[in-house]
Amino acid sequence: MKESYNVVKNDELSSLYNYLSNLKAPPPTIEEDLVKIIIRRENLREVIEYLSKCDGIFLRTMMASDERKVEGFFKLYYVFGLDKHHKNIVIEVPISEEDPVVPSIVDIVKAIDWYEREAQDLMGIKFSEKIPHKFVLPDDWPENVHPLRKDYTIQDLSKLYKPRVVAHAKEVEAEAVVVVPIGPYHPALHEPEYFELYVRGEKVVDTRYVGFMVHRGIEKLGESMKYDQVPFLAERICGICGFVHSTSYCQAIERALKINVPERAEYIRSTILEIERIHSHLLWIGVAFHLLGYDTGFMHAWRIREQVMILAELLTGSRKTYGLNIVGGVRRDIDEDKVKKSLEVLDKVEKEVKNFIDIALSVPQVKTRLKGTGYLPKPDAIALSLVGPTTRGSGVPRDVRRDYPYAAYKYLDVEPITRSEGDNMARAEVRVEEVFQSIAILRQLLDKIPRGSIAIESWEAEPYKFGIGAVEAPRGEVIHVIITGTYSPYRWRVRAPTYQNLLAIPIMLRDGDLADAPVTIASIDPCFSCTDRAIVINIRSKKVEEVPLSFLSTKGLKLTR
In which order are the strands placed within the sheet that holds 466-473?
Answer: 466-473, 476-483, 491-495
Q: How far apart are CA 33 and CA 82, in angstroms?
A: 10
Judged by CB under 8 A, the residue of 101, 108, 160, 440 near other proteins is: 160
Is the CB of 79 or the CB of 324 nearer to other proteins?
Answer: 324
For residue 331, state whether it binds other proteins (rule: CB under 8 A). Answer: yes
Fill in the DSSP letter of residue 201.
T
Q: How far apart are CA 43 and CA 52, in angstroms?
A: 14
Q: How far apart are CA 212 and CA 96, in angstroms?
A: 29
Is the CB of 81 or the CB of 231 nearer to other proteins?
Answer: 231
Contact 136, 533 (CB under 8 A): yes
Fill in the DSSP letter of residue 416.
P
**CA distances (Å), origin 242, targets 79, 156, 246, 322, 427:** 23, 29, 7, 8, 22
Cα separation of the two ends of the chain:
54
For residue 229, state whether it binds other proteins (rule: CB under 8 A). Answer: yes
Residues 281-300 binding other proteins (CB under 8 A) are 283, 296, 298-300
- Across the strands, what pairs with 210? 194
Is the CB of 359 or the CB of 557 nearer to other proteins?
Answer: 359
For residue 108, state whether it binds other proteins (rule: CB under 8 A). Answer: no
Is the CB of 238 or the CB of 435 nearer to other proteins?
Answer: 238
From the list 21-29, 165-173, 246-254, 396-404, the region that binds other proteins by CB under 8 A is 165-173
**CA distances (Å), origin 558, targets 11, 173, 480, 510:** 50, 14, 43, 17
Is the CB of 101 or the CB of 310 nearer to other proteins?
Answer: 310
**Four-residue CA torsion sign, 453, 455, 461, 465:** positive
Residues 24-63 binding other proteins (CB under 8 A) are none
Query: What size, in residues, is the chain?
Result: 561
E strand or H helix that includes residue 482: strand 476-483
Rounded to a whole number of angstroms, the minimum distance from the CB of residue 331 to other proteins is: 7
For residue 237, state whether it binds other proteins (rule: CB under 8 A). Answer: yes
Rounded to a whole number of angstroms, the minimum distance from the CB of residue 213 to other proteins is: 5
For residue 117, state whether it binds other proteins (rule: CB under 8 A). Answer: no
Contact 131, 112 (CB under 8 A): no
- Across the strands, what pairs with 235? none
Contact 26, 32 (CB under 8 A): no
For residue 147, state whether it binds other proteins (rule: CB under 8 A). Answer: yes
Judged by CB under 8 A, the residue of 9, 22, 69, 167 near other proteins is: 167
Q: How far apart are CA 480 and CA 380, in angstroms?
A: 25
For residue 225, state whether it binds other proteins (rule: CB under 8 A). Answer: yes
For residue 368, state whether it binds other proteins (rule: CB under 8 A). Answer: no
**CA distances (Å), origin 497, targets 66, 478, 524, 525:** 24, 6, 10, 10
Judged by CB under 8 A, the residue of 178, 180, 310, 549 near other proteins is: 310
Three-state SS for 540?
coil
Site string for other proteins, 174-193 (x = CB under 8 A): ----------xxxx--xxx-
From the list 90-98, 112-120, 354-362, 402-410, the region that binds other proteins by CB under 8 A is 354-362
For residue 302, state whether it binds other proteins (rule: CB under 8 A). Answer: yes
Using a 10 angstrom Cβ sphere, with 0-12 exposed, 13-18 middle and 19 or more buried, the burial of residue 155 is: exposed
Contact 512, 373 (CB under 8 A): yes
Total residues contacting other proteins (rule CB under 8 A)?
A: 71
Judged by CB under 8 A, the residue of 36, 84, 220, 465 near other proteins is: 220
Site string for other proteins, 499-538 (x = CB under 8 A): ----------------------------x-x---------
Rounded to a whole number of angstroms, the minimum distance from the CB of residue 323 to other proteins is: 4
Judged by CB under 8 A, the residue of 61, 316, 391, 523 near other proteins is: 316
Is the CB of 307 or the CB of 444 nearer to other proteins?
Answer: 307
From the list 56-64, 71-79, 104-112, 210-218, the region that binds other proteins by CB under 8 A is 210-218
Judged by CB under 8 A, the residue of 46, 228, 413, 545 near other proteins is: 228
